[in-house]
Amino acid sequence: MTEKKVTKKELNQIFWRSFALQGAFNYERMQNLGYVYTMIPVIKKLYKEHDDQVKALNRHMEIFNTTPAVAPTIMGISAAMEEQNANNPDFDASSISAVKASLMGPLAGIGDSLFWGTFRVIAAGIGISLATQGNIFGPLLFLILYNIPNIFVRIAGLKLGYRVGVNSLERIQREGLMDKIMAMTTTVGLVVVGGMVATMLKIETPLKFNLKGAKVNLQEILNQIMPNMLPLIVTFIVYFLLKKKVSITKLTLGILAAGIIIHWIGIL
């Protein structure tokens, strides 16, 4: 029997199709239709029997949800496992689903903090600092800076996933490399968010007092204690309200109302 093999052609198809992962997002099984859609070329290539095709399709119709950028890594592993399954009659096909289910959570954790909490924040921070002056390179730089890691992780993850399969990824996790990457990205993310609170929150008070004939500017005093003290305080007030499970919609409406009132009183 000739060995059935996933070729470069199918991997390329996985790569392009993986962009549409959330195309048919639904509440019941989330990204599953997008996932089965990316796996179709592999299933077609590996299985010729009707029953095998049905089984494979149903396998990938199961619930799936992870950060889109890291999904190709899992798809690469799925492709490698489907290949083993097609060639080895003793292969336990349920392990394909088990691996998917066990990887999507941890990879979503690392993917979200990497892409949403770090790359996006850095790219947006740099982009916004240009764009506030009306510079068109702001949005363009934002897109470029974010998408370099986005595309790179998609390509490299797919290749890595297919080539090394399940075992190595488990090993990476066991050796704590995942934790290390996570800790590093969290560090950078926090540093940048700290910088953004200081540079992008423009909260200054126009309040002035008359103290024994001398005019006192409150903002100048605050600046002498610590520059950007008000932005820091406001951020932490909102942070603690979030921790108290106040919804974002309520917070937004609250701040809109508070802004008008505070301005009317003359504090800000």
Partner 1 sequence: MLAQSIMLGIVAGIGILDSRIFGMLMLERPLVTGMLVGLVLGDVTTGVIIGAQLELIWMGIAGIGASTPPDVVTGGILGTAFAIISGQGAEVALVLAVPIAVLAQSLGVLVRIINGYFLHKADRYASEANFRGVTFMMWIPPILFFLSVFIPTFLAIMLGADQVKGLIDAVPKTIIDGLGVAGNLLPAIGFALLLDMLFTKKMGVFFFLGFLAASYLELNITAIALLGSCIAVVIHIVINNKNEEQVSQPYNNLTEGEINFD
Q: How far is the C-alpha of 155 from the C-alpha of 170, rounded, in Å?
A: 20
Is residue 264 within the footprint of partner 1 (CB under 8 A)?
A: yes
Q: Which is nearer to partner 1, 81 or 121 (CB)?
A: 121
Region of 5-13, 87-95, 209-217, 259-267 interacting with partner 1 (CB under 8 A): 259-267
Q: Which of residues 116-175 bind partner 1 (CB under 8 A)?
A: 116-117, 120-129, 131-136, 138-139, 142-143, 146-147, 150, 154, 163-164, 168, 171-172, 175
Q: Which is nearer to partner 1, 211 or 226 (CB)?
A: 226
Q: Mask 191-220, x = binds partner 1 (CB under 8 A)?
A: xxxxxxxxxxxxx-----------------
* Torsion sign across C-alpha atoms 62, 68, 70, 72: positive
Is residue 20 within the footprint of partner 1 (CB under 8 A)?
A: yes
CB of 203 to partner 1, least distance (A): 6
For 218: left if phi > 0, alpha if psi spans -120 to 50, otherwise beta; the answer is: alpha
Beta-ladder partners of 59: none
Q: Which is nearer to partner 1, 209 or 236 (CB)?
A: 236
The pair of three-digit structure tokens given for residue 74, joined into one six-digit string: 């899992």
Angle at which helix 8-17 crosses helix 32-46, to 10 degrees, equals 170
Task: Decide: helix, strand or coil at residue 197.
Answer: helix
Amino acid at 192: V
Q: Which is nearer to partner 1, 133 or 210 (CB)?
A: 133
CB of 211 to partner 1, least distance (A): 25
Give the C-alpha distances (Å, rounded to integers) separating 176 from 167, 171, 173. Answer: 14, 9, 5
Is residue 30 within the footprint of partner 1 (CB under 8 A)?
A: yes
Amino acid at 31: Q
Q: Which of residues 43-62 bind partner 1 (CB under 8 A)?
A: 43-44, 50, 53-54, 57-58, 61
Cβ 80 vs Cβ 165: under 8 Å: yes
Cβ 167 vs Cβ 80: under 8 Å: no
Q: Which is nearer to partner 1, 33 or 214 (CB)?
A: 33
